[in-house]
Amino acid sequence: MLELEIWYIKNNDKKELDIDYFDVRNEPLLNLFQVFLKKMRKKIPKYSSLYIIFYENLTEEEKKRIRIENGEKREYYFKETNINELKSKKDLDFLRETLKNLKEGLIHSKFRECLSDDEINKFENYVYEKNFIYTQNIDVKNNKTKTRKAVLKGVLTSGQLSLFLEIIDLKSRKCIYNKCVFELPPSVSIPSKSKLNPISLYGYELYWENDNTIDIIINTVGDRLRTKIYQKSDASVLTKQQRIKS
């Protein structure tokens, strides 16, 4: 797997390098890249890393030092830019700029041996097709009588994680419920370090209380988000939600 890092470097008031290597808005893009590699069945050499580094006023000596201190076998792509201007962009403009430089970094790196220009362009198209939104199934559970299936999905956008609950009637194979039930602000939705399962490790799971009541257990705080499903005589469905404290 190819590990990606995106850094932002500028000189602070003391003329020292101020390195910021995390912006939550990049997470959907980085996760989409890993999914793309998996879909393409690309074999990347083990322990491969590419650093995309946005910087202000770095000397060649400072670039060399960054390479030495962080591993000379890693690939580095340096892009001079105004950091404050970049970070002040609207989320989608920010991600477009990051994607453009990620693509350039791949083209100028040794990973062109593994990814052709055509495949790199396919990656760009794939990200735009997904609109920079990464979706992952977190948990799937059938109720005890196997009449209904619940699917908990995480939808990660630039800085926000939304949980969607989908309930399927197994007899008719119809979806009877599919709505966003929970959202986390950027300050909370810091993803795990896992590149394969960035959302499922947040700590959410499904539990059928009975055939018509499904709980999302929020392990981080121990609360339950309960959804009750009522089948009406005309075959339509009525739902009711409540938050239950442990």
Residues 6+ apart with CB under 8 A from 13: none
pTM: 0.81
pLDDT of residue 198: 52
pLDDT in tens, 82-118: 999 999 999 999 999 999 999 999 999 988 888 899 9
Query: pLDDT averaged over the chain?
Result: 86
Q: What per-residue string of b and e applies to 137-168 under the rule 16 or more CB within 10 Å gives b?
A: ebbeeebeeeebbbbbbbbbbbbbbbbbbbbb
How distant, in Å, are the alpha carbons of 66, 85, 121, 240 from that of 21? 13, 17, 26, 42
Strands ordered across the beta sheet of 160-169: 134-142, 148-157, 160-169, 174-184
pLDDT in tens, 192-207: 444 445 554 457 889 9
Contact (Cβ atoms closer than 8 angstroms) between residue 32 and residue 125? no
Q: What six digits make up the tokens of 194?
A: 């896992």
Q: What six digits make up the tokens of 204?
A: 């959410």
The confidence band for 191, taking pLDDT boundaries of 50, 70 and 90, is very low
